[in-house]
């Protein structure tokens, strides 16, 4: 059976949360083929060295758009995007575009840790 793909993205203020989350649910996350924006992927691999994560560009340099394009191509099954709602982001249009494509293609999308925890549990057999 084809492995499901999971994309991980976190704004700077949420990167600790993302690394903690992945470490806590490492066994649930391991079966997925993992993609991440550049810095998020680096932090996740630092925390969980046994996980293999394909790192795309950093968000502000096009990483969000790369993940959006992969969603449009049917290459991403699930998106965990830990959003910082309290800081301005220079690439906010890219952030919105990524969320929009996740909605257009109706893929499961968790925008905070509480939702991601419940969603990842739903993939258990
Ligand atoms: O900016 C991001 C999401 O919008 C994430 O990008 P990085 O993981 O490279 O910080």
CA distance linking residue 45 with residue 87, whole number of Å = 25
User: On the CB side of 51, how many CA atoms lie within 13 Å of its CA?
Assistant: 29
**Residue-wise burial string across 1-20, b where 16 or more C-beta atoms lie within 10 A, e elsewhere:** eeeebbbbbbbeebbebbbe
32-90 pLDDT, tens digit each: 999 999 999 999 999 999 999 999 999 999 999 999 999 999 999 999 999 999 999 99
Among protein residues, the one with the nearest Cα to ligand 1's atom 10 is: 39
Reported ipTM: 0.98
Domain boundaries, the chain: 5-122
Average pLDDT over residues 104-112: 98
Among protein residues, the one with the nearest Cα to ligand 1's atom 6 is: 59
Q: What is the pLDDT of residue 125?
A: 82
Average pLDDT over residues 107-124: 98
At the topology level of CATH, where does 5-122 sit? Rossmann fold (3.40.50)
Q: What is the pLDDT of residue 61?
A: 98
Q: How many angstroms does the Cα of residue 56 sit away from the middle of ligand 1?
A: 10
Q: What is the pLDDT of residue 3?
A: 94
Among protein residues, the one with the nearest Cα to ligand 1's atom 9 is: 58
pLDDT band at residue 2 under the 50/70/90 scheme = confident
CA distance linking residue 29 with residue 23, whole number of Å = 9
Atom number in ligand 1 closest to CA 12: 10
Total residues found in the chain within this entry? 125
CA distance linking residue 122 with residue 125, whole number of Å = 8
Q: How many angstroms does the Cα of residue 125 sit away from the middle of ligand 1?
A: 31
Task: Give the DSSP letter string of 31-44.
Answer: TSEEEE-HHHHHHH
Q: What is the pLDDT of residue 108?
A: 98
Q: How many angstroms does the Cα of residue 11 sit away from the middle of ligand 1?
A: 5
Q: Is 57 annotated as a binding residue?
A: no
User: 89 CB contacts (<8 Å, ≥6 apart)?
Assistant: 11, 59, 60, 95
59 lines ligand 1 (CB under 6 A): yes
């Amino acid at each position: 059976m084809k492995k499901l793909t999971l994309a991980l993205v976190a704004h700077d203020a949420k990167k600790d949360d993302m690394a903690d989350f992945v470490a806590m649910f490492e066994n649930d996350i391991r079966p997925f083929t993992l993609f991440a924006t550049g810095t998020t992927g680096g932090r996740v691999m630092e925390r969980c060295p046994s996980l293999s994560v394909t790192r795309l560009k950093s968000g502000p340099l096009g990483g969000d758009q790369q993940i959006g394009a992969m969603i449009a191509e049917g290459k991403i099954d699930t998106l965990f995007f830990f959003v910082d709602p309290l800081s301005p982001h220079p690439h906010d249009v890219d952030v919105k575009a990524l969320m929009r494509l996740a909605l257009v293609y109706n893929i499961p999308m968790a925008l905070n840790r509480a939702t991601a925890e419940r969603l990842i549990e739903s993939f258990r057999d």
